[in-house]
């Protein structure tokens, strides 16, 4: 296995395992709000994996090796894409497994895809920010953003349980409209996410090659 992938994949795998083990069980067993809340943590987990894999990364050392910047970017982005796909597949499979139990439905598939698409783009943006501004300059902003995301997700959970009129993301008009043709919408959203991600990969190559923040 490629050494860069080998080193970084540990962080992606460990966060995925924790997500599946700690939060995944709620998806598999909890009643209705599970699919409204648990997917919201996916972008946080994925971005955390990016940040933790970048901690201690030595791009200066990599530059001394016969590895081109674009190869480094592709490997790193490959991990982000692979991890996002794994989160998405996991949640989609659980949603399909619980299809008949009122917990999931067409809107769930759309909602999970939307959130995972956002997570994918967020992970890529974190990675590019690190290349552009350096790890130490990015970590504070990223940690604050992730902290706020967690607080919002928890507040949303509490709101759903305690306030009758609390907005349900999975039942918003746009999500419901897309849920009219769920598989088509899922394919379109996934395709759109991958397209944006592909554009970010191109941007990442340019940023990585021109930035001196990480060397």
Partner 1 sequence: MDAILEARNVEKQYEDFSLSGVSLEVRRGSITGLFGPNGAGKTTLIKILAHQVPARAGAVRVFGLSYGDGEREIKNRIGYVAQDPPFYVDKTVQWTARFVAPYFAHWDGAHFYGLLEEFRVNPLKKVRHLSGGQKKLLSLALALSHGAELLILDEPTAGLDVVYRRALLDRLRTFVADGERSVIVASHVTDGLDEIAEDVCILQDGRIVMHEDKDGLMSKWKWIHFRDGALAPAVVGRLSNLRRQPFGDSGLTEDFPALREALARALSAGDAKVENAKLEDIMVSLIKGA
Contacts with partner 1 by CB under 8 A lie at 2-3, 7, 56, 58-61, 63-68, 209-210, 212, 215
Alpha-carbon gap, residue 103 to 47, rounded angstroms: 27
Q: Would you say 151 or 209 has its CB closer to partner 1?
A: 209
Find the length of the chain. 215
Alpha-carbon gap, residue 198 to 215, rounded angstroms: 25
Alpha-carbon gap, residue 160 to 90, rounded angstroms: 24
Cβ of residue 8: shortest distance to partner 1, in angstroms? 12
Cβ of residue 5: shortest distance to partner 1, in angstroms? 11
Q: Would you say 7 or 132 has its CB closer to partner 1?
A: 7
Q: Would you say 34 or 72 has its CB closer to partner 1?
A: 72
* DSSP 8-state symbol, 31: -
Cβ of residue 137: shortest distance to partner 1, in angstroms? 16
Residue of 64, 45, 66 lying closest to 2 (CA atoms): 66
The number of CA neighbours under 13 Å toward the Cβ of 111 is 25
Cβ of residue 104: shortest distance to partner 1, in angstroms? 42
Cβ of residue 110: shortest distance to partner 1, in angstroms? 42
Q: Would you say 60 or 199 has its CB closer to partner 1?
A: 60
Q: Would you say 36 or 69 has its CB closer to partner 1?
A: 69
Alpha helix positions (H), 98-134: 106-133
Phi, psi of 53 (to 5 degrees): -70, -25
Structure token digits, residue 79: 């991990």
């Amino acid at each position: 296995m490629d050494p860069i992938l080998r080193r970084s994949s540990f962080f992606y795998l460990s966060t995925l395992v924790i997500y599946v083990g700690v939060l995944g069980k709620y998806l598999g067993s909890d009643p209705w709000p599970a699919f409204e809340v648990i997917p919201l943590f996916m972008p946080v987990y994925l971005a955390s994996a990016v940040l933790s894999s970048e901690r201690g990364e030595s791009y200066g050392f990599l530059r001394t090796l016969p590895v081109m910047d674009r190869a480094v970017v592709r490997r790193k982005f490959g991990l982000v894409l692979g991890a996002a796909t794994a989160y998405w597949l996991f949640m989609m499979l659980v949603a399909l497994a619980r299809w008949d139990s009122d917990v999931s439905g067409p809107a769930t598939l759309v909602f999970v895809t939307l959130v995972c698409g956002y997570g994918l783009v967020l992970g890529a943006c974190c990675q590019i920010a690190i290349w552009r501004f350096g790890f130490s300059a990015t970590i504070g902003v990223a940690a604050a953003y992730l902290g706020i995301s967690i607080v919002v997700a928890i507040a949303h959970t509490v709101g759903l349980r305690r306030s009758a009129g609390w907005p349900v993301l999975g039942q918003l008009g746009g999500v419901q409209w897309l849920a009219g043709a769920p598989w088509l919408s899922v394919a379109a959203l996934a395709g759109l996410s991958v397209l944006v991600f592909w554009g970010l990969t191109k941007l990442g190559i340019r940023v990585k090659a021109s930035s001196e923040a990480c060397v």
